[in-house]
């Protein structure tokens, strides 16, 4: 049954589904950032400083450590950003779900109201038919 809220419910449902997809994408980005951070931390653990050798080797190792620390810092910042992104997406999805449920409830209430009116009209029609049938039988009987 179509009501004045039907098109709004459809629009709100589409918006909610779009937000769900955005949340899934944000979660995927968060997982990528988390994996990148873990990988960069693991790589840092694998770097072994030279115990002897030329100063150039020590400097090269230090440069490698510094660049790996910079990558780790970047990945940490990326992880924090994606955490915020997931939080915002969850909050927006929650608001959109509330809006959708509100309009869905209003549509349901309007449908119930219309069905009640239809039932009342049907009862009146049946009463009228019964009254006409009864009147016709009484006239024929007389």
**Residue-wise pLDDT tens digits, 33-48:** 999 999 999 998 888 8
Report the pLDDT averaged over residues 83-110: 96
Q: Give the model's pLDDT for residue 47.
A: 82
**Under DSSP, is residue 47 helix (H, G, I), strand (E, B) or coil?**
coil
Residue % of the chain over a pLDDT of 90: 70
pLDDT band at 115 (very low <50, low <70, confident <90, very high): very high
Q: Token pair for residue 131?
A: 């009254």
Report the pLDDT averaged over residues 97-118: 95
- Which of 2, 21, 25, 18 has the alpha carbon at shortest distance from 100? 18
Q: How many secondary structure helices (H) and strands (E) does the chain include? A: 2, 0
């Amino acid at each position: 049954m179509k009501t004045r809220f039907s098109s709004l419910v459809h629009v709100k449902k589409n918006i909610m589904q779009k937000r769900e997809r955005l949340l899934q994408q944000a979660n995927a980005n968060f997982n990528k950032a988390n994996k990148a951070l873990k990988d960069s931390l693991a790589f840092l653990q694998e770097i072994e400083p030279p115990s002897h050798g030329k100063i150039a080797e020590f400097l090269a190792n230090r440069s490698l450590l510094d660049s790996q620390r910079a990558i780790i810092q970047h990945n940490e910042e990326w992880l924090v950003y994606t955490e915020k992104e997931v939080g915002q997406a969850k909050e927006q999805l929650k608001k959109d779900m509330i809006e959708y449920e509100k309009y869905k409830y209003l549509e349901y209430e309007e449908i119930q109201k219309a069905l009640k009116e239809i039932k009342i009209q049907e009862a009146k029609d049946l009463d009228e038919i019964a009254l006409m049938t009864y009147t016709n039988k009484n006239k024929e009987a007389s």
